[in-house]
Every structure is written in C-alpha cells, then in structure tokens.
Structure 1
C-alpha cells in the first residue's frame, strides 16, 4: 500500500528524526511507522482507527462518561510496537519531547489547539513542525504557528509542505478545559447544553442535518440506544433532555469527540457508556435503537467507507424490531445501501440538502 503524500514527505526528510525526542501527532497513515522503525518515538493518535492500525490493537474500548469527566486521563490507551509508543487520547500534557510533528488537521481551530499543546510540551528552544497537503490548508499553518516563534518552511514536495516553528513563547500550561466551548442549543423552543472541542464535528453549532434528524426522533424512546458517530453528543443529550428513557452508548472514532460527549452528558445531568471504535468493529451487542449522522469525509476528502461499513453491519447490531434513524446529505447513495440490508426503508423527512431515513429489523 502506498503512503499518503504527507507521509512520503516525512520519509523524504527522515534524517530530521535522527536527533531529538520526537512526538508525532495524528499521522494520517499507519503505514508510516514501519518506515520509521529504527527511530524511538511517541505517537499521539486522536483517532482510534489509525491507533489500532499502527499499534496492532483491535476491538472497541469502553469508558464510563462519569470517569471521563472526573479523571483527566480516563481516555488514555497505550500500546508499544517496536521502538514506538502509541497513545490514544484527546491530549498529552506531559512528554519529554524536543520536537513535535503535527499532521495538518482539517479545522484551523484544531490546529491552534494542537500548536498550543505541542509548544507547551517542547518548551522554549524546542521545535514544532506541521506537515500537510497544499489543498488541506497547510499554506495557512504559519499564521497559527508564528505566535510561538520564528517560522520557516523545511521542504515542499508531493503537493505537500513541511513547516517548522522554533519555539520562543511556549505556554506555561495546557488544558483541554481551556479549549472547551459550552453552548446552548435550541430546537423548537427546547434548549440544552453542548460541550465541544476544536476538531469535533459541527463544533459550536447545531448541524442542519442533525437538527432535521432530531425533529423526527420520538421523545418516548426507551431501551438500549446507540448514538453512532456521536461527535459532541448532541443527539443523545437532546433525547435525554426531552425525557427519553434510554440506556445510551455513544460511539466515535475521535478521542476529542468522546471527551466532548462525556462532558455534554454531564452538563445535561445524564450519563452513558462511551465507546471508541472504528465503525462498528468490536461492538458485539445489540440495540433497540441506533441513531446517526454518519461522516462521509476523511480529512478534506469524500470517503464513504465509514458509512458503507456501518450500513453493511448495522442490521446485525439491532434487536428484533430494532429501529435505525439516519440523516445524510441527499446526494449520498444511502437509500440504495439501506435497501440492500432492510426490507422497506423509508424517508421520514427531506429538505434541499438532507434526508432522514428510517429502517426497522
């Protein structure tokens, strides 16, 4: 399998890793690490799929939402693979790193948060590097970096750039709570609170598709419920706040989303099980209801894999007569995919951009 363009640029500059203690954040390609096996390094993965691929870990991981709120390191999985230490967590606040290499995230606010964390970790005289594709916004990375020190471009190739900041103004501390937004969402005169971090889907706003889905969810839901690709926990927290009596599990691939969801539940005097998983892999029990606004992007690229895998496996994760509620952009081929799995999927609502689909076992 060929490496991503950004990973190829790392290999092109592999001599950079010969000196210093390196922390790699959100590598977009697990295949990069075998190529770096001669170097001792630590990798922070905020995304569970790449963590599993890189570390050899398999299955899903479960957390109690109350533990995540009470213990800062509750989401913190560590796996050793040769010379590499792989961490799945929303953040790292302590590390003996001289250099941090960040793979450019999709959201600028996410990069700002990662830069603050990385600059704190390496301290003054350390270095923070950002690498990414030109079409992914790497050309604007310098603006997020320059507040911490002098910025220069190390290399450009494969339609990517590697930008380095020599840290001179390192923050004295870093906490996820300093980057947490708490907003009041409203829908049909009902209000509830949502906690979200940069990098989480629909950060600080109620997504239009999710809002349409919520209008079609019965407030009388009971039993076991899965909020798949939960993001900041908007759907589950809304249902609890309008009186649904469900035993709720919230699943996402993002550690930032899982952290946000746990705090969103707490803000609304609720609780649930938080699951880290790549689609439904490792989830072996069944639910009476599954609700989702599934992603169809990987970074800036359209990617149907997550939704295709989810729809292909969701029938086996529903109880007899179990119900699925799914919202998606109208242009996506989900009606056909649902028809392959369910007898008579229905469209509950539709506007110019989104459709809400319903299916039952």
Structure 2
C-alpha cells in the first residue's frame, strides 16, 4: 500500500458520501475505504486508467472532471504546480461552500508547498504527518466559476524552416512554456523523415506532430502519449496552426506496443518520467520493439540524452544505428528496417 493511501485510511473518519479521488496511487485504497463511501477516480494517465478499470473501480480518463457528482475530493499532489492549480479550480467549481477538499502528498513531492495553493479557495489545516507524507483539509469558502480549458494553456512560438508554429501546452505537459533542448536538436532532421504514416511517440504538446504535418499535407500523424493533457495539447496545437484535423489521429497508449503496424516512420523524444520518478522502461522498450511496427524500409528517429545507452539497444534490434547529431547533451539516433528485395 502506498504511504499516501495509508494516510487517507488513517483519517477515514473525515470522509463521507461520494468521494472523488484525483491522481490516486495505483493500489488497493478504494477497497479499504468505509463501505458507506461511494468512491470514484479521475486520472489522465492511461496506464493508471487501465489499472483501475481492471479493479472494476469507477474511473474517468481525461482532462476534464468526470460528470458524476461528488461531495468531497481527495487530490494527490501532482508534480506540476500549474496542474495542481487546475485540479483545485476544477474540483471547487463543483462543490459548495463548506464542502471539503483533501490534499495528500509526500514531503519530497512538495506537499507543504502545494498546501499553500489551497489558500485562495478556503481555510486549510494539516490533519496528518507521518511516513514522510502529509494530509491537509481545505474547507471551500465559495463556489468558483469554471474557466475554459484553453485559458489554462501556455502558448509559445517555435521557429521552423517551414515557418513559425505556435505551441499550445496545458498544465503538467512536458516543456510547458518553451521548446525543450532535445526536441530543438531533433527538429532540423525532421525534413529527412520519410513521408506517409508516422507515429509521434510521446507527443507532448505536439511540436513534432505539427511540424511533420506542416512539412507534408499527405503525412498522417499518429500522436501517441500516456497523458490526456499531452493529447489535448497536441490537438490544440493543430487547431492553433490551422493544420488539417484529417492528418491527425490522437491515441492514448501505455507504450509503443499500442502503436499501429506498417508505419513508415516512428519519431520520438521519448518520456522517462512517471510523476516525480525516473523510469526508462518505456523508452528502452521503444528501442527494442519499434521495428515490429515499421513496414519494410521503415525508419526510427529518436533523440535522447547523451549518457543513455540507446544506440546499443537499437543496434541489437535493427542491426544498425546511426548517430545523426551529438550536441548540447543530446543525440539524434536513426535506424531503419531492411527493405525486402
């Protein structure tokens, strides 16, 4: 059991009625709550969504609040301060004065800093502090009017040889307010990517997807991410740049195994964080199994931190790997499947 869940169970007498769990740990917390509590979950992580579905819990996946009503909410602190502001605002729009919002998190995850974000919405007090975790209770002082999702996005320009792109990034999305160095190193090589069916694995705010669509109107882009906020950001980026929605297919995935088959290319600045923790499994799996999703002569284009041993992994599975660039701490890697004669 996650220590954050243990804190919630210890303070179960504060919980009553219909309780919405936001960003909850993937454990058995729901089954340990009082039988009189009606629990539902909200997550934007596709892996977690599938976990809770398998538990037969009532779970909603997406960037917006679930439609079902609730009397209280427990928010487990996310990594992003901006995302927590969005979650708090969203939850309070559906509660009335006097209702409770609980905040739970690890001290190393910044729960004390996060607790200060409760103050605009009501009075807050600490209920528990143990096992390196804290639980806070905030009493809602007044209902808040919901803002549009677009109002939460940050916008920034990216210069490309095909002209300027405006990137739309929602709270919590990787590199929310500027182009990250890895993607900047990769961008000049995107014009070399073969045309056709292309997967942008770990699409983030849609920089790579939008540029590939702009390069060739006939490209069909499969934007794939585990994060619903990333997928929504990519869709917004396409709309903002007047790119054809017919070019884009948005897909929530757990890993490269969920990608379509017979792709002309896979392009990726792969993720390696799950919340506050580093996790290389997804990107290592990409190196090992990408070729299964490529057609004959299909290409893998990938940017990674210089210190990661991805070239060797790619070479083991493709037979070769070319380093196209090595700058600013990042490598652009290229491999292709053998063409059938």
Pick from 20, 25, 28 the counterpart of residue 28 of structure 1: 25
Q: Indicate the residue corresponding to 2:259 in structure 1.
A: 283
Is the CA contact 2:261–2:295 (under 8 Å) kept in the aligned structure 1?
A: no
Q: Are 1:270 and 2:268 matched, yes or no?
A: no
- 2:47 is aligned to 49
| Partner residue in 1 for 2:159 | 186
Distance in 2 (CA, whole Å) between partners of 1:314 and 1:31 is 33
Q: Distance in 2 between matches of 1:353 and 1:12?
A: 46
Q: Which residue of 1 aligns with 2:108?
A: 135
* 1:118 Cα deviation after fit: 1.1
Q: Following the alignment from structure 2 to structure 1, what is the Cα–Cα distance between the partners of residues 296 and 149?
A: 41
User: Structure 1: which 5+ runs fail to align?
Assistant: 57-79
Aligned residues: 333
1:188-241 Cα deviation digits (max 9, x unpaired): 683111111001111121111011111112266411000001011110101222
Match of 2:75 in 1: 102
**What is aligned with 1:66?**
none
- The structure whose RCO (Cα within 8 Å, separation 6+) is larger is 1
Bigger mean CA deviation after superposition, 126-135 or 335-344: 335-344
Moved over 6 A (4+): none
Equivalent residue in structure 2 for 1:250, among 220, 223, 232: 223
Q: Could you tell me how far 1:257 is from its partner in structure 2?
A: 0.9
Distance in 2 of aligned mates of 1:325 and 1:8 = 43
The equivalent residue for 1:304 is 280
Structure 1 residues 33, 319: closer, same or farther in 2, change over 3 A?
Answer: farther
Counterpart contact for 2:194–2:264, Cα < 8 Å: no
Deviations 1:9-51 (A, max 9, x none): 223333433x132101111324433434834211011111000
Q: Would you say 1:200 and 2:173 are equivalent positions?
A: yes
CA contact (8 A) 2:30 2:39 kept: no
Moved more, 250-259 or 331-340: 331-340
Aligned pairs for 1:61-210 within 5 A: 81=56, 84-92=57-65, 94-187=67-160, 190-210=163-183
User: The residue matched to 2:159 in structure 1 has which SS?
Assistant: strand
Does the residue aligned with 2:6 lie in a helix, a strand or coil? helix
Aligned to 1:327: 303
Give the TM-score, by structure 1 length. 0.87
Distance in 2 between residues matched to 1:242 and 1:236, nearest whole Å: 10
Mapped to 1, the partners of 2:298 and 2:266 lie a distance apart of: 8
> For residue 260 of structure 1, what is the aligned residue in structure 2?
233
The correspondence for 2:209, drawn from 236, 241, 245, is: 236
Deviation at 1:86, TM superposition (A): 0.7
* Aligned residue in 2 for 1:294: 270
* Contiguous gaps of at least 5 residues in structure 2: none
Q: Which moved more, 1:186-195 or 1:287-296?
A: 186-195
Contact 1:154–1:163 (8 Å) recurs in 2: yes
Q: 1:42 to 1:351 in 2, by over 3 A?
A: same
1:71 maps to which residue?
none
CA contact under 8 A between 1:93 and 1:121: conserved in structure 2? no
SS at match of 1:141: helix
